[in-house]
Amino acid sequence: MDCFIHALPKCEHHVHLEGTLSPAHRLLCAQRNNIALPNNISSLSVLEKELYPADYDYEEGQDGSDYLREFLANYYGAMEVLITPEDFRGMAAEYIERARKMNVRYAEVFFDPQAHTSRGVPLETVMQGLLQAREDEKKLHEGKPDYVRIEYILCFLRDMSADSAIETWKAAVNGGYLKDIIGVGLDSDEDGHPPQKFDEVFEAARKAGLKITAHCDVDQPGCHANIAYVATKLGGPRNHDGPTELFLTPKYDAGADRIDHGLNCADNPELLELIKKSNLGLTLCPMGYSKHLGPESVFRKLELIKQTGIPFCLNSDDPAYMCRYKEKVVIDVQGKTGWTMEEIAACEINAIHMSWTKDLEFKKDF
Ligand code: ADE
Ligand code: ZN
């Protein structure tokens, strides 16, 4: 089974680029930029041991929002070493290289510009690095069987202001970067920051022809209402996209184009119905919640969603922190569920249908 999963061409639609910042690259950037790591750590093995606690292994049943806050503090703290385009390029290049080794053939990757601009690192620096890594991959591998196609999704941080999101959007427009991203997303701390707060910026993105998605994290206060809003309203009126039978096309009156996480819809039959009716897919990261919410609850919900026929795909979220990149996520989900090869392959087929690229060529790899 593990060999089958390794060889299976895979897609990933829920991975935060900054969540792939490895201890090794963090140390390299810290040294290059003369930045002291916490506790003046200067050795890789100590960094791994002290700042990347295995699997963020919190007590099962710990409150979900505390878990997310604690994780986010570590996640943002680590980014202080990312200063130059080369730092961002190296981070993206490392993810692409890992993707290649796992037979991930296509990924739509989130990044968080405000986590950098708020530290004085300009959007141009971030974009230069990300785009260069993608160019390098194209130059060296396009046309070969191991080519990894990358699209970028610009995320707004929901615990920053709506004005800050608009400012970020304008910087992306003025920098000419809309052509370089495929969509926009919404992440960070959901508690007290419902999607409605960002109506204006999501409507602007939809008018500009970008795809839209938003995190509806697991066990966040208000998560059911947030899932319903994202599924029906986020982004305002939908452009006519020209549905193709190859891709999952949300209904004209749906909101976002996908939902990130959204696992808790399983608790609510009306939400399940709504998501199904809207023809939306979920980008789930089951192993990311399995430890702190308890595997029983997570896999019960996953099986329930599967039974409804709502499309979902399996993703890593923040693999450098959660200790599992995409291939290991699929292996571990299979281990927990006992799904057959056909059922595992169906998740990857869902992922193809949930893809946003217009590049139909990539389907040939599957
Ligand atoms: N940003 C990075 N990882 C995240 C997650 N799991 N939830 C919300 N925001 C995030
Ligand atoms: Zn996420």
CB of 318 sitting under 6 A from ligand 1 = yes
Give the pLDDT confidence score for residue 280 in this predicted structure.
94
Could you tell me the residue ranges of all domains in the chain? 2-365
Tell me the C-alpha distance between 21 and 89, whole Å: 11
Point out the ligand nearest to the CA of residue 114: 1
CA-based nearest residue to 112, from 217, 18, 230: 18
Query: Complex ipTM, two decimals?
Result: 0.98
- Residue 59: what pLDDT? 43
> Residue 290 in contact with residue 266, Cβ under 8 Å?
no
Residue 318 alpha carbon, nearest atom of ligand 1: 3
Q: Kindly state the tokens that stand for 35.
A: 């930045």
Question: In whole angstroms, how far apart are CA 41 and each of 56, 138, 183?
Answer: 20, 36, 37
Residue 333 amino acid letter? V
pLDDT tens for the chain, 366 residues: list them.
999 999 999 999 999 999 999 999 999 999 999 999 999 999 999 998 888 865 555 444 445 557 788 889 999 999 999 999 999 999 999 999 999 999 999 999 999 999 999 999 999 999 999 999 999 999 999 999 999 999 999 999 999 999 999 999 999 999 999 999 999 999 999 999 999 999 999 999 999 999 999 999 887 888 899 999 999 999 998 766 555 666 788 877 789 999 999 999 999 999 999 999 999 999 999 998 877 778 888 999 999 999 999 999 999 999 999 889 999 999 999 999 999 999 999 999 999 999 998 776 766 666
Q: Which atom of ligand 1 is nearest to the CA of 188?
A: 9
CA dist 129 and 95 (Å) reads 13
CA of 331 to the centre of ligand 2 (A): 20
Smallest CA-to-CA distance from 155 within 240, 50, 256, 51 is with 256
From atom 9 of ligand 1, which residue's Cα is the shortest distance away? 188
pTM of this prediction? Answer: 0.95
Asked if 355 contacts 10 with a C-beta cutoff of 8 angstroms, the reply is: no
**How confident is the model at residue 289, as a pLDDT?**
83
Q: Which two tokens stand for residue 78?
A: 């680590």
Residue nearest to atom 6 of ligand 1 (CA): 317
Token output for 31: 């040294």
Q: Cα(272)–Cα(308) distance, rounded to whole angstroms?
A: 8
pLDDT at 112: 98
CA dist., res. 347 & res. 156, Å (int): 27
User: DSSP E strands: which ranges in 20-170?
Assistant: 104-111, 149-157
Q: Edge-to-edge, what's the strand order for the sheet holding 183-187?
A: 10-16, 104-111, 149-157, 183-187, 211-212
Instruction: Say which CATH superfamily domain 2-365 falls into.
Output: Metal-dependent hydrolases (3.20.20.140)
Strand, helix or coil at 20? helix
Q: Are 347 and 313 in contact (CB under 8 A)?
A: yes
Of all atoms in ligand 1, which is nearest to the CA of residue 155?
1
